[in-house]
């Protein structure tokens, strides 16, 4: 039996018959306690780490489309909300990415070995005071000097490193072409922005997969309304509200993040590479099954709709992903 002092709200002093004060709304929780219990409570509130999470993940993983169907039937109390589930999956993906993220590094190492490592033993002369034969083909030596003069110090240093690379280096040839055209001085601020980002990428190609992986969830999140719109267009005859299509898109992307996180846990090389590839490919049959179950179509129509949705969505996701390589540093 609680005493009168225990029932009194610590914030306003009003009697609190239950967990929340009817006067000010403050709960009866007290955070002047051990850090471990506070952290566990925070995680439980943030991600709803209780039976609902496991029930939600069971439907999400093993019954594609069923979780959204439960939402459309207004059976929500037994499951984690779509937004919280999406936040949980994004958090988990970024956590695993920070610890084990090396997708695509083998490809980048190949680029770097050819375009960067060999350059360390090549031309070591200053490109302005002692230009090579290919630099002499520029209209004037002043053109190159003008190009370097308009670059910020960090990009100027990177440009000099690129110009010291072997003559057949793609990055070096591209930079020389831009310098010869006077692009840095004459372009508008948008062109200049992409020029500076291009110098960063040419200097270190390994930033490409790193930026892609880091910004993919952001690009996918920004395109969620577009994916929901595509689903709505492809399923007009189902007469569902746009919010239902949007929730379906959220659940599909949540599954994608979780699958990517699992794939990152496997080591590179041998069986690990095959396991990674298998997990990354699961999302395609998963999407077909989810479309068939949620929209209640036949297999042929479900496959056709899935292909159409993927094609249109990829047409937006690909340029968004490429753009993310340039706009982040």
pLDDT at 136: 45
Tokens of 244: 């239902």
pLDDT at 269: 74
Question: Which residue ranges in the chain fall short of pLDDT 50?
Answer: 103-138, 140, 185-186
pLDDT in tens, 250-278: 999 999 999 988 888 888 777 888 888 88
Q: How many Cβ atoms are within 10 Å of 329's Cβ, its own excluded?
A: 10
- Of the candidates 230, 172, 249, 246, the residue with the CA atom closest to the CA atom of residue 203: 172
pLDDT at 234: 94
Tokens 């370097």, residue located: 148
Tokens of 132: 């090579």
pLDDT at 226: 93
Confidence (pTM):
0.64
pLDDT at 70: 93
Q: How far apart are CA 18 and CA 20, in angstroms?
A: 6
Q: How far apart are CA 292 and CA 288, in angstroms?
A: 6
Give Cα separations from 228 to 85, 86, 114, 309 (angstroms): 17, 15, 43, 10
Pair 209, 103: CB distance under 8 Å: yes
pLDDT at 157: 78
């Amino acid at each position: 039996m609680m005493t009168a002092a225990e029932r009194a709200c610590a914030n306003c002093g009003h009697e609190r018959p239950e967990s929340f004060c009817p006067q000010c709304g403050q709960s009866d929780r007290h955070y002047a306690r051990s850090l471990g219990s506070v952290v566990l409570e925070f995680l439980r509130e943030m991600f709803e780490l209780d039976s609902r999470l496991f029930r939600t993940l069971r439907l999400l993983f093993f019954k594609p489309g069923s979780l959204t169907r439960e939402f459309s039937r207004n059976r929500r109390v037994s499951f984690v909300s779509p937004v919280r589930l999406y936040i949980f999956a994004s958090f988990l993906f970024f956590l695993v990415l920070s610890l084990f993220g090396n997708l695509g590094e083998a490809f980048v190492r190949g680029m770097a070995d050819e375009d960067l490592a060999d350059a360390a033993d090549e031309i070591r002369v200053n490109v302005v005071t002692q230009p090579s034969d290919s630099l002499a083909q520029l209209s004037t030596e002043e053109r190159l000097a003008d190009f370097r003069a308009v670059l910020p110090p960090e990009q100027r240093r990177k440009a000099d490193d690129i110009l010291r690379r072997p003559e057949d280096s793609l990055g070096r040839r591209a930079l020389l072409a831009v310098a010869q055209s006077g692009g840095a001085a004459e372009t508008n601020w948008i062109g200049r922005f992409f020029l500076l980002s291009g110098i960063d990428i040419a200097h270190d190609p390994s930033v490409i997969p790193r930026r892609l992986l880091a910004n993919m969830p952001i690009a996918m999140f920004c395109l969620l309304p577009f994916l929901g719109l595509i689903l709505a267009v492809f399923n007009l005859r189902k007469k569902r509200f746009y919010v239902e299509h949007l929730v379906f898109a959220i659940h599909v992307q949540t599954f994608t993040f979780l699958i990517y996180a699992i794939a990152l846990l496997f080591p590179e090389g041998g069986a690990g590479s095959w396991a990674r590839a298998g997990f990354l490919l699961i999302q395609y049959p998963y999407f077909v099954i989810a479309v068939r179950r949620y929209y209640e179509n036949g297999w042929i129509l479900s496959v056709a709709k899935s292909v159409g949705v993927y094609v249109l969505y990829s047409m937006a996701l690909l340029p968004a992903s490429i753009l993310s390589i340039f706009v982040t540093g």
